[in-house]
Amino acid sequence: MNYVIIGGDAAGMSAAMQLVRNDAQADITVLEKGLYYSYAQCGLPYWIGGDIEKEEKLVARDADTYRIKHGIDARTEHEVTSIDVNEKRVIGKNFEIDYDKLLIASGARPFVPDWNNNHLKGIYTLKTIPDAKKIIQRLKGKRRNITVIGGGSIGLEIAENVCKAGHKVRILERSARLAMNFDKEMTDHIHEKAIEEGIQLDLNHDIIGFEGDEEGNVTSVITNLSTCKTDLVIVAVGVRPNTDFLTNTGIHLDEHGAIKVNRYMETNLKDVYAAGDCATHYHRITDKDTYLPLGTHANKQGRIAGLNMCGKPRVFKGIVGTQIYQFFDLTLARTGLSSREIEELGYAYKCVQAKLPHVAAYYPTHEPILIRLQYNEKTGEVLGGQFIGTKGVDKRCDVLATALYHRMTMQDLEELDLGYSPPFNSVWDPLQQTARRRS
């Protein structure tokens, strides 16, 4: 069987390895636009910040490993420009290759709006190792004034790491608050932490464009409210699926440009699959497809796509929207739906919130966790939760994600048999204590 995969990172290589393991006759070709295979995109801010010392730490397997150890024709600098779905042929710059089965795992790219003068030098996005190299090189030598555009998870991670590296940081955000996928009651604490760490927050700022010097270097960001002097700009306002090359193929896309797939990672075209940041994701709570590009989803979808391609049916059972990230000494985590998302769906819901110690209150290492839960007012089914704290956040978020996956109620949360010992927990876990406070 002649398998062709477009994209050599999380989804693509997860699929490729399933083909290697399950089809002894597999002839696998992977077409990667860049130079790097299987690298940790989520680790790039920490490389810039110095927590990760070497580029090599970010690469799980290079192209030569796939070629030599696994017999995969892993190509680099092979950009696909179109697909002939009638002839079952992938077409690129200076190459064509036929397929029996095709996986599109082309990922996503950072989105840069059509702002004035966005071509100036010193304006960056962060998605690839070469992107990070350029930023690291530009930051060398002296303390810089850095503007981060975007207050979502990537923007906050970048802001933290360049701040920790000794630079002066400003965040420009078009909304009234940071981290819009958290409820306002939670984001106030994120604002406080940013200001405490010396980050300037400019909220409600719509970007108009940039000004530069005679050499073409960015010197200012112009917004609807001010002109901000800067030495360097990092844009983190979201991503878009890499699906432009699918024009005229007949492959169905959603409103984001993501490829619509079923639970087997199949597109609407025979023998064409898609997975990862270029594809849709089934959401278990809403029972609808959505677009939430994360590495965890890409790895799972890629694995399932590979199994289905080689005749071992496996269903993708969906996501619940779990995210976690660090912001200085805080851990920020969420899973399920926020209040805003629930309201958009028209569900009748209630919220309950509590601030509780992450272990037994009398134990000397206890630290507070702020927990906010959303649940269906009529059925009691848990709809989502958010967590902020310095310790124990990841554990509670993962317990709640498991509860959401199984569509448990708030009463079910109370009845979970969770581990207890004073250095690790209270008799009643903070998550359970919060659930018990509902009216």
Q: pLDDT for 11-57, tens place per residue?
A: 999 999 999 999 999 999 999 999 999 999 999 999 999 999 999 99
Mean pLDDT across 189-193: 97
pLDDT tens digits, 77-119: 999 999 999 999 999 989 999 999 999 999 999 999 999 999 9
- Name the DSSP letter for residue 316: -
Q: How confident is the model at residue 229 (pLDDT cuts 50, 70, 90)?
A: very high
Q: How confident is the model at residue 141 (pLDDT cuts 50, 70, 90)?
A: confident
> In whole numbers, what is the pLDDT of the chain averaged over residues?
97
Say which of 42, 228, 310, 397 is annotated catalytic. Answer: 42
- The predicted pLDDT at position 142 comes to 87
For the chain, give the percent of residues with pLDDT over 70: 100
With a cut of 80, say whether residue 439 has pLDDT above it. no
pTM: 0.96
Catalytic annotation present for 228: no
Q: Is 363's pLDDT higher than 90?
A: yes
35 in Cβ contact with 58 (< 8 Å): no
Nearest CA-CA partner of 386 in 295, 325, 318 = 325
**CB hemisphere CA count around 404 (13 angstroms):** 28
Cα–Cα distance measured from residue 63 to residue 74, given in angstroms and rounded to the nearest whole number = 6
